[in-house]
Amino acid sequence: MNGPQAPLLELRNLVVRYGSITALHGINLKVQAGELVTLLGANGAGKSTTLRAISGLIHPVGGEILWHGGLINRLRTERTVKLGISHCPEGRRVLSRQSVADNLALGAWLRRNKVAIASDLERCYALFPRLAERRSQLAGSLSGGEQQMLAISRSLMARPTLLMLDEPSLGLAPRLVAEVMAALSQLHRDGLTILLVEQNAQAALTIADRGLVLEAGSISAGGSAEQLLADNSLQASYLGAN
């Protein structure tokens, strides 16, 4: 008889330091295949650090990062991308002097199957039709919302098993926040596993399965999205009004 399936991603007692400053104090986290889990909390809580550790941009000093049950603590970012982990960082970071199409091609730089790459490109254009209309336009000339759509799409071009996003709604008008969240919800319905870092608690929990609240490098609360949305005291204390 088969035992319970290992989580797609698991953090066990993860500790990360920047010099003498401890950014993560032994956090534990599990993400099952197909879930959309959101990490919530104030600036400096450790949300971005968590994603950076998973993607290999920084290495923990303690604990374990497990992918399909295997340890990946010391892997470089190129290797984590090959494993199926795609990280869309805060701040969009598009190549402003390159076209939309060139930015998307960069997202597939580790892939060789041209047919599959072309298919995923059309999928991105279907998800964000504005990018299809502007495929020859320089990325730097796009609006902030369009650049965020491009950053997400570029991450999708790696064909990830896990998509990690850091503050995708930051600086966007409410209408564009809704558009980006609708796209993430569609990706989730299509079966993509998503780990979403967000300060906009209302928007994130509306599309998530579960949420975890980070406070000063530790997980202070967690539960289903419905539970967290209904917890007024928790929203007031940790998540803020959105």
**Per-residue pLDDT tens digits for 144-181:** 899 999 999 999 999 999 999 999 998 888 999 999 99
Name the one residue in this structure whose structure tokens are 């959101």: 38
Residue 240: which pLDDT band, with cuts at 50, 70 and 90? low
In order of 106, 145, 148, 155, the CA distances from 128 in angstroms are 18, 11, 10, 13
pLDDT value at position 242? 40
Q: Does the reported pTM lie above 0.85?
A: yes
**Per-residue pLDDT tens digits for 61-79:** 999 999 999 999 989 999 9
pLDDT value at position 235? 65
Tokens of 182: 């609708």
List, in order of start, the domains of the chain with CATH numbers: 1-83+207-242 (3.40.50.300)
User: CA angle, 68 as apex, 45 and 216 as ends, to 5°?
Assistant: 10
Residue 43: which pLDDT band, with cuts at 50, 70 and 90? confident
pLDDT value at position 6? 83
pLDDT, the chain, mean: 91
- Residues 98-108 as b or e (16 or more Cβ within 10 Å = b): ebbbebbeebb
DSSP characters over 67-85? ETTEE-TT--HHHHHHHTE
